[in-house]
Amino acid sequence: MAASVIVACAGCYPAPHTEWSRPEISGNYVLDGHPARGVEVFLGYSHDGSNPCPALERVAVTDASGSFHVDPETEWVWWRDLLNGDRIGQQHFLCFQSANGRLLAGEFSTWRMRYEHVHLSCKSPPVESQRPLESPKVCYLGRN
């Protein structure tokens, strides 16, 4: 039992701290050339890379101008990775849901050890191309 604990913790050391589990995200969404109001925004990580949207958490709804905002979140972590130090990344999927179903808007990574503000400009592609991971780029990313 003790040997398995040592193996599981190899490369880690106790160092209680907080990490950013979600970056601050702001953006706007345009559908058919007009700001999209009432579109649900989903964010998170999914092990199903071919269809990640169903597993994601609803984090925002677009307002009358098509804008949305997601507050950052932190989590308490007890162990620090000795090998990677401050270079621990996290992948995020972003999806929108409107009347015609969920659309995968994009995938991006952020660092867990530092605050990041991500700004997205999103424009819906033509309806015929709205298949997960086959659609054209929906969101363009900017970082602050």
**Residue 8, SS3?**
helix
For the domain made up of 17-143, give the CATH fold. Answer: Immunoglobulin-like (2.60.40)
Does 130 score more than 50 pLDDT? no
| Alpha-carbon gap, residue 105 to 72, rounded angstroms | 19
pTM metric for this prediction: 0.73
Q: How far apart are CA 142 and CA 144, in angstroms?
A: 7
Tell me: the pLDDT tens digits for 33-86? 888 899 999 998 877 777 788 888 999 999 999 999 999 988 888 877 766 666
Domain locations in the chain as residue ranges = 17-143
DSSP letter at 36 equals -
